[in-house]
Chains A and B, each alone.
Chain A
């Protein structure tokens, strides 16, 4: 995402409207929970225009908002039934069992722009359902307390196998796309949330993950690629979700970081709530969500603990 629009600014960069240019941010010295709640609540009701270029990932944007509010223990700001209904309306359904042999994936669409009305006698019903959207959908449903056993997970998981490649990696959509660790993570999280591993070959998936390990010990998004923090998360979280690494996998990573870290995170907490990518830039949903997640991990009071592997709160993960 290169230009300012795509960084999700709160306002259009419109030189003819100087009143809309952002006020100079000041650093806070404490975590202002209410400000962050207001920011996400605003997003829950309306995403500003610059987000239209991320429209295809509508469900993921919703996940940032709703999971963010959950971390802030502010889910009361959300109409849970309405959210569940909305998410469920994105699910792709096979017309018959025979459809499950057609090579398509029957998961969730990410937005209305990849979902087309199905006509009863249509020969061609475009199916744009996507692994990452499916992950976002199930995560949101878990967060709002929807009972996942009400979903047709059988079709979803059976057809998900169509997306796994011979090297163990996953393509996110059957019409063709890039394949890398991100979608393997999505597949693992989906199977875990549905408590059903029929959707993937775990051994082959593990093989692919190990092939992604770089000479320096980190993980790249695909074999040979440079080690990358996001890839490391996908690799380790997937291995853990699939049951290949247990609690004895040592690390002190869960211990709170030094004060310097917290201070720099607070520096990025702006007066309008949310977090930005770097100082001097307006906040966006992506960095806001992961900033909140970071503060949750750091044990900030008033934030709910996270289930790190799934990217939702522990309460949502266990269904409490």
Chain B
């Protein structure tokens, strides 16, 4: 099998023209036909141009050989987003009877410089599918390594979710989310994954079974960092389509009250209460007082706001000035529905 792992080294060593390489003897490069009146022309470098000329030739003649495999490695190193090249590589791999484990190693090499490349991840998924459920733990480990470098790599998260659903490996996923959140409780990708696990894992019983403990988990995170938007969103998400239950879970409004009383980082506590009010929540006096005490002198007397919802919107207009227009609109919405 032609060496495919040399691709990462190619760019760094001196370029040897393909025309001088014995393995490509007999290949007639096919130059690019730029067509009529080309605009937005690209200033190709010579090695790029030559590589693509050779690729065009082998691809057009459908040569599914070891040297074609090598050429795709070279082409990928200069042009990793070119899906035609990746597709040709897959055709060659199937024709030659690939070692799929070796191919996984190839993708890991490409990932070192192109961890956010769509074609790479699609190819990886294709190879993993060939290997089946046995590949699950290796794939989960691979994404774990990517997350060590970039905890929010969107492609890696997509891949991980696909692996879990197609190949399995759910057993340790909730623990993994907990670990990531211990390292960085602001990691929204980890919160998202946690929601994915509790709703989809075949071994946890689903959202209804998990809701109670997850509410406690989210509230603990909220009190540690009330300015962290993620657990607030997560908490609300636990009660999607369950408004009655959300209204009646005293832990939710108690958590809001505790944050308000601290008089710091209360943006999300206020907006949560606003949402609750919109669904018919009847706050006790303690909550009303806590809200009123947050009004600054800019806002004048509490009586100038017809009700609590208006008051909250006024406070948020000052606390969250980036969204001042939004809070004005919420105030209008609150008035028109009351």
Contact = CB atoms under 8 A, between A and B. Distances in A.
Contacts of A61: 40
Contact of B79 (A49, A52, A173): A52
The main secondary structure of chain B at its interface with chain A is helix
Contacts of B237: 214-216
Given A53-B81, A252-B325, A255-B325, A62 B39 contact: yes
Contacts of B145: none
A90 B33 CA distance: 11
Q: Which of A45, A214, A227 has the most CB of B within 10 A?
A: A214
Contacts of A221: 154, 158
Contact of A250 (B33, B115, B118, B329): B329
A53 B78 contact: yes
B320 to A, nearest CB: 11
Interface in A99-128: 112-114, 116-117, 124, 126, 128
Interface in A31-79: 43-49, 51-58, 61-62, 65, 78-79
Interface in A1-21: 1-3
B78 to A, nearest CB: 7
B28 to A, nearest CB: 14
Nearest to B333: A250
A219 B128 CA distance: 27
Interface of A: 1-3, 43-49, 51-58, 61-62, 65, 78-79, 82-83, 85-86, 89-90, 112-114, 116-117, 124, 126, 128, 130, 173, 175-178, 214-217, 220-222, 224-228, 250-252, 255, 257-258, 260
Q: Which 9 A-B pairs have the closest CB atoms?
A: A215-B237, A216-B233, A82-B37, A226-B192, A89-B35, A62-B40, A114-B84, A56-B82, A252-B325
A116 B59 contact: yes
Q: Which of B45, B55, B59, B82 has the most CB of A within 10 A?
A: B82
B43 A46 contact: yes
Contacts of B295: none
B172 interface: no
Interface of B: 32-45, 48, 52, 55-56, 59-60, 62, 78-84, 87, 113-119, 121-122, 125-126, 154, 157-158, 161, 188-189, 192, 195-196, 200, 233-234, 236-238, 240, 321-322, 324-326, 328-329
Contacts of B126: 176
A224 B200 contact: yes
A49 B60 contact: no
A58 B234 contact: no
Contact of A52 (B78, B122, B196): B78
A79 B236 contact: no
Given A52-B48, A56-B81, A113-B84, A46 B41 contact: yes
Given A126-B59, A178-B121, A225-B154, A53 B80 contact: yes
Contacts of B81: 53-54, 56-57
Nearest to A83: B39
28 contacts: A2-B115, A47-B40, A48-B43, A49-B42, A52-B43, A52-B45, A53-B79, A54-B81, A56-B82, A82-B39, A86-B35, A113-B52, A128-B83, A130-B83, A176-B122, A177-B122, A215-B192, A216-B233, A216-B237, A217-B233, A221-B158, A225-B161, A225-B192, A226-B154, A226-B189, A252-B326, A258-B321, A258-B324
Nearest to B48: A52
A116 B85 CA distance: 13
Contacts of A62: 39-40
A56 B188 CA distance: 32
Contact of B188 (A53, A113, A226): A226
Contacts of B200: 224
A58 B40 contact: yes
B87 A175 contact: yes
A82 B37 CA distance: 6
A258 B34 CA distance: 46
Contacts of B161: 224-225
A128 B41 CA distance: 20
Given A224-B196, A226-B157, A86 B83 contact: no
Q: Which of A2, A116, A222, A258 has the most CB of B within 10 A?
A: A2
Contacts of A55: 42, 44, 48, 52, 79, 82
A173 B82 CA distance: 12
A43 B40 contact: yes
Contacts of B45: 49, 52
B43 A49 contact: yes
Contacts of B325: 252, 255
